[in-house]
Amino acid sequence: MKKITAILALALVLTGCGDKEVDRPDLPSQTQTGMTVNAKQAEAKKTDVSKLSHTKVGYGSGVQTDEKNRTTGALDFNTRYSHLGAEAIKTDDAKITLTFDQGYENGYTAKILDTLKEKKVRAVFFLLKDYAEKNPDLVKRMIDEGHIIGNHSVHHYSMPTLDDDTCISEIMDMHKYVKDIFGCDMELFRPPMGEFSEASLALTRDCGYKTMMWSFAYADWDTKNQPDPAASEKKLVNAAHEGAIYLLHSVSKTNAEILGSVIDGIRAKGFEFN
């Protein structure tokens, strides 16, 4: 493996961001989320990915659930890949995590941020480099209001289709950009399109990142065919489960409209948010 040693050295300086919210002293710190790159990585060794599968896998949490309403696809993902620093559901934390993939700005992110601030919920925003370059004020607001900034790569390539060095540069070039421009050390990575291989997960881990998939998602990304707000609100509330990781898209008009009601509805079922 080329360049891994240098990448590991950079990974060791990761600390965290998204903990500046002055209106929310009760918000957990990045360390409390369990995602912080910590001293254990000082002992990390580069992975010999030649021994791992490079076969592309397309992730989906599915709709089948267990007795706790947890999607079995997410639980199975954890079983298969947690040793590679990846998770799709939190099994050691009953709280729910809202995540937003930021492919491009469609005018709804500010409203989403307003709602999150009003409801005192911290979310994870997975950024592409193009999004960060074009929307610095929104990115700064995310950070200043205590949200977690996640890495969604530079170009949105399918990670398992790349050679090892390109896979690493997709992660670390984005990391360097956000660190240089916003002073933020990201710790979470979501592979574009949910596509991965054992090798790409291992390379992500060697870059000092944890891969975060999801345990719930729905068809919210098509801006020309937005889902019905009432039906969507019911779907999102009914999907609540311990340790849930919701994947939402900020380009969705429906999501912007129903987010506050969804948060209220999930809380009414006895759940709280990270």
Instruction: State the catalytic residues.
Output: 101, 249
Residue indicated by tokens 């900020």: 250
Question: d(Cα 182, Cα 148) in Å, to the nearest integer?
Answer: 13
Q: Quick one: CA dihedral 259, 246, 201, 147, positive or negative?
A: positive
Q: Decide if 31 contacts 16 (C-beta within 8 A).
A: yes
Nearest Cα to Cα of residue 61 among 265, 246, 272: 246
Question: d(Cα 128, Cα 192) in Å, to the nearest integer?
Answer: 9
Residue indicated by tokens 């429906």: 254
Q: Exposure string (b/e) for 89-118, b if CB count within 10 Å is 16 or more?
A: bbeebeebbbbbbbbeeeebbebbbebbbe
Number of alpha carbons in the 13 Å side-chain half-sphere of residue 147: 27
